[in-house]
Amino acid sequence: MLGEKIYEYVVDLTGTIEYGLSLADVVAGTAAPPLHGARFDAGFAGQVKGRLQGSISGTDFAFLRPDGVLELNIHATIDAGNGVLIAMWADGIGRFRAGEPIIDLAENVRLTTSHESHLWVNGRQIWATGTADLEAGKVSLQGFLQ
């Protein structure tokens, strides 16, 4: 990945809301995504390390398409300490690995704050890649400033 790595995190999945379809059944291969797709809201929280540091918490309002690809819609808050809050919005895709409870993630990230010390995050393109391990309940990502 080109660009400056500005953060990495491993966060815990804090809960999932399922709207009529079990994500565990999809991962196990005992249920297929319906023709109209399916929605899953996955909460997460943990620590951010790197040039951008602090705690992060949020929700991925994911949509599972009929072809099995997850469309990501992530809204989160990074608390960088000392009253510095940064809004995060990301979209992208997740692809399930065959026979594994792992989702490979590719994200387009936008950060916004009005705090003087972190204005450098505004209006910048950030790409993030990583994985979600559903068995372990962990999401690992690295973000690169372009």
Host domain of residue 112: 4-145
Neighbours of 89 (CB within 10 A): 14
Type and span of the H or E element at 94: strand 84-96
* Structural domain total, the chain: 1
Would the pLDDT of 1 be above 60?
no
pLDDT of residue 16: 95
Q: What pLDDT is recorded for position 99? A: 87
- Output the average pLDDT for the chain: 96
54-92 pLDDT, tens digit per residue, is 999 999 999 999 999 999 999 999 999 989 999 999 999
| pTM check: above 0.75 | yes
CATH number at residue 112: 2.40.160.20
Give the SS3 label for residue 118. helix
Which tokens hold the place of 29?
């291969």
